[in-house]
Amino acid sequence: MHLTPRRRKILPALALAAGLALGLGACGGSAGSSSASGGVAQDSVGSAPREAEGSGASAPDAAKGGAGAVTATEQKIIRRADISVLVKDVGAAAETVRAIATTAGGTVTNEMLSTYSGDSTDLSGSVTISVPSDKLDDTMKRLAELGDVVSRTTSSDDVTGQYVDTESRLATMRASVDRVRGLMAQATKIEDIVALESELSRRQADLEALEAQLRSLKDQVAMSPITVQLSADRSQLADSGGGFLSGLKAGWKAFTASVVVLLTALGALLPFLVAIAVIVVPLVWFLRERNRRRTAASAASVAPRPAAPMPAPPVGSADSVATAADPADASEPKA
């Protein structure tokens, strides 16, 4: 290609401009990459506590997203049941309830049997047992064989969301505690170590609280409580639902029970009261009699004495002669 003299002068200028542009672009790219890497390093070192603090908001969402399949296939259900059974012998039925709970792998959590009339046939009460949730239905069938079932209820609560949320928060808190421990291993200043120890104590307490909450949920999901009402009187089981008559009957039974307890306590204290009276009554009488005598003696000593009589004048004295003379003679002058 033939180049004119004018083009020959322009080509070196264009080559120089292209070289300068390429050099500036390379320098800018390297500077940008170095500054970006420096920013990442600084953020990873300086914002570690902020990352540990802020991860609690992002990690639960990720955990929830990952646990979606578990939530859909495995629900966490808390189940409980109540049953009222009319039986002939309440004591024997209560013993059978204990045996049923043991056979199912459960335990007796509460038992209350009482009688208000003193007659064993009036015995009634309740027994609360806790059995594995997967054996709740079978246990209810066995309890229904104790006698005539008057009432039976079963309820359940779905705590799947609460369970998954607690697990997610627990995993996040464990990771947060591990990060704070890592920062403590790298800290060299006393003030940093003290601050990290305080933060670690706070997060450790939160971690233990979440672990306790998760254990409670697991126990409630794994075990189901059953309250068994036992009585030989159908009216007692029928009145357990409430109402004015039920409340009146319960109040009367409570009143009679209180009177029985009061009389029992009085009978137990009566021998002691008699013994105290035998000692105290004579002592009080003696003290009162002694005080009365002292009071009488004090009054006698303070009373005024009668005045002593005047002594009679001696016989033959002028006063006695003048007194013995006749007043008329004394008044007349002598001749």
Name which of 67, 68, 86 is nearest 146 in CA terms.
86
Average pLDDT over every residue of 95-116: 88
Report the pLDDT value the prediction gives residue 124, as an integer from 0 to 100.
82
CA distance 106 to 142: 14
pTM for the full predicted model: 0.49
Helix (H) or strand (E) holding 77: strand 77-86
User: Between 48-66 and 160-186, two packed helices, what is the crossing angle to 10 degrees?
Assistant: 150
Report the pLDDT value the prediction gives residue 198, as an integer from 0 to 100.
92
Contact 251, 193 (CB under 8 A): no
Name which of 3, 149, 166 is nearest 87 in CA terms.
149
Q: Which amino acid is at 10?
A: I
30-86 pLDDT, tens digit each:
433 333 333 333 333 333 344 434 444 444 444 444 444 444 448 899 999 999 999
185-217 pLDDT, tens digit each:
998 899 999 999 999 999 999 999 999 999 999
pLDDT category at 308 given cuts 50, 70, 90 is low
114-170 pLDDT, tens digit each:
775 555 556 788 899 999 999 999 999 999 999 999 889 999 999 999 999 999 999
Whole-angstrom CA distances from 44 to 30, 40, 50, 58 are 21, 6, 10, 17
Dihedral sign for Cα 139, 142, 143, 144, please: positive
Q: Give me the helices (H) in the chain, please.
A: 5-46, 48-66, 68-73, 90-103, 136-144, 160-186, 190-222, 234-238, 244-302, 318-324, 327-331
pLDDT category at 221 given cuts 50, 70, 90 is very high
CB-neighbour burial class of residue 78 (10 A; exposed 0-12, middle 13-18, buried 19+): buried
For 259, the token pair is 């009177």
Relative to beta strand 124-132, strand 107-114 is antiparallel
Report the pLDDT value the prediction gives residue 57, as an integer from 0 to 100.
41
